Structures are given as C-alpha cells and as structure tokens.
Amino acid sequence: MINTLKQACHRHGYGLESDIAGEDRDISFTYDKSAVFMRINCSNQPGQAGVTEVFSALAKAGIAVDMVSVQPCQISFTVQSRLADLAAAALAKIAVQPDMITDCVKLSVRGRCEQPLLSTIITVTEILARANVPLLRLAESYGLIEGLIAPRHISAACKALARQFTCYGQGKKHSCAACRQQP
C-alpha cells in the first residue's frame, strides 16, 4: 500500500514546499509498506553472467524489481512483499538463495520536475539521523531519493521530514499540528 505524507498527516490534498537553504521547489514524499529487500552474494559468478541469470529468472516469474544495485560481488533490489516468496522460489530454481529483509518500508522523496536537489539528500539523511531513524538502504537519482527503513520508524520519519518542509493547503501556508508535533 502506497501512502503519501499528505494523506498520513492531513487526510486532505496538501503539497509540500522546500525550506532547504532558500530553495523554492516542491517536494513530495511517499512511502510503501510492502517492500522486501533482497541481497545476493554473486562472488562465485564470473562477470555479468550471474547478474543476467538472476534478473532473467525474476523476469520469467513476472516479478518487477526496484531499487536495484549491482556491485562486483553483490546484487540487491526490492520486490513487493506479496511477491517475495515467488521471487525466492524463482531464484532457488537457479540455485540462488538471497538474504531477505522482509520488514521494510520504502520512503521516497521527490523534487519537482525530477531535477537533482543537491542539498536535499544531505538534508534528508540529517533529518532522519536526528529523528533516530536508521536507514537500511539509501539511493538517489535525479531528484528521487529512496530509502528503506523499518516500519516502526515511519511515523517518526514522516513527522521529522514534514517539520523541515512548509505545508501548503489550498494555496495557503499554514501550521499543521499533525505534521509539526515532535516524534
């Protein structure tokens, strides 16, 4: 289930505008509580053969992956929780057993027009650190920052991020008690 910060905080249609270092940009937040993080050690496979085999097996099973990272000795990605067992079975057919973290929430922060927000990734990591929200993984690409966190931290993460940004409802700046209260 994908929820937006504005739904979590307001139950209305509100936008968020950045207060970061004077930037005048719209920022949106979403979170998805149905993410499973999978990590595969591929040090036994030469070159890209292991990578191709893994993604081919998942594609044949009809499984979409997200937050993909390919490194010399490791492949990691997320799948929807409802597909985790199917993904594990598809990988078992090629003798691959992934490490899985099944209790994840994918938190996404996006800037308007998908432009890189140079100070945003620093600010997001600082905000989450101050709120004691540990990151299981963090990725950034041209205006989209995606992180994995434990579900028990989603409320603190949303509140901490909302405090950094100005809430706008129906075109008027306001102070939202739900967003502004301390975690």
Q: Which fold has domain 36-102?
A: Alpha-Beta Plaits (3.30.70)
Report whether pLDDT(6) > 60: no
pLDDT, the chain, mean: 76
pLDDT tens-digit readout, 11-48: 323 334 444 434 444 667 788 888 999 999 887 766 67
Q: Specify the pLDDT at position 26.
A: 60
Q: Would you say the CATH fold of 36-102 matches that of 2-34+103-180? A: yes
For residues 1 and 34, is the Cβ–Cβ distance under 8 A? Answer: yes
pLDDT tens-digit readout, 89-135: 999 999 999 999 998 999 888 765 555 556 678 888 898 999 999 99
Q: Specify the pLDDT at position 81.
A: 94
For residues 25 and 111, is the Cβ–Cβ distance under 8 A? Answer: yes
In this prediction the pTM is 0.72
Q: Specify the pLDDT at position 162.
A: 79
Hey, where are the domains in the chain? Answer: 2-34+103-180, 36-102
**Which is the CATH superfamily of the domain at 2-34+103-180?**
ACT domain (3.30.70.260)
Residue 70 carries which DSSP code? E
Residue 140 to residue 48: CA distance in whole angstroms: 23
